[in-house]
Amino acid sequence: MIIGEAAAASGVSAKMIRYYEETGLIPPAGRTASGYRTYGPKEVQILRFVRRARDLGFPMEKVADLLALWRDRTRASAEVRRLAEAQIAALEVRIREMEAMKATLSHLVQACAGDDRPDCPILDELGGSPCRSAGG
């Protein structure tokens, strides 16, 4: 199949497939005589693996590590588990950071009068001005 078909079958855009090839995350595709990239079931399975790992938030270098472990049938599952546990810890940090962002933004929205006046504590905060506490 050509890249568009592989993209549809894997859920990975053609642009990302090219990027993954450029960065060496996946091996370069075969080529037809006219230069079109060609993919088979094995390549589509690899692309699905990459997509799922990325969906779980693994950074590219960890996806490469997971791919290497997936291909290595003599691997110890302990290494895979270690990578997954590290990803859970990273996600927990991101969740705490996002909760803090939400709390800050919620506070700013509450401080904003949302009327016809130009005063806006949300914009003041984004601009680095000290936040006004009342009805701004």
DSSP secondary structure of the chain? --HHHHHHHHT--HHHHHHHHHTTSSPPPEE-TT--EE--HHHHHHHHHHHHHHHTT--HHHHHHHHHHHH-TT--HHHHHHHHHHHHHHHHHHHHHHHHHHHHHHHHHHH---SSSS--HHHHHHTTPPPPSS--
Give 18-47 pLDDT, tens digit per residue. 999 999 999 999 999 999 999 999 999 999
Give domain status of residue 131, yes or no.
Answer: no
Residues 6+ apart with CB under 8 A from 75: 69
d(CA 100, CA 105): 9
How many domains is the chain built from?
1
Is residue 113 in a domain?
no
Lowest mean pLDDT among 5-19, 44-58, 62-76, 116-130: 116-130
Q: What pLDDT is attached to residue 136?
A: 45
| In the predicted structure, residue 84 carries a pLDDT above the cut 80 | yes
The verdict on residue 1 lying in a domain is yes
Asked if the structure places residue 108 within a domain, the reply is no
Is residue 60's pLDDT more than 60? Answer: yes
- Residue 123 within any structural domain of the chain: no
Is 37 within a domain?
A: yes
Q: At 11, which CATH number?
A: 1.10.1660.10
pLDDT surpasses 50 at 114:
yes
Confirm whether 91 is domain-assigned: no
Tell me what pLDDT residue 109 has.
94
- Domain with 21, as residue range(s), is 1-57
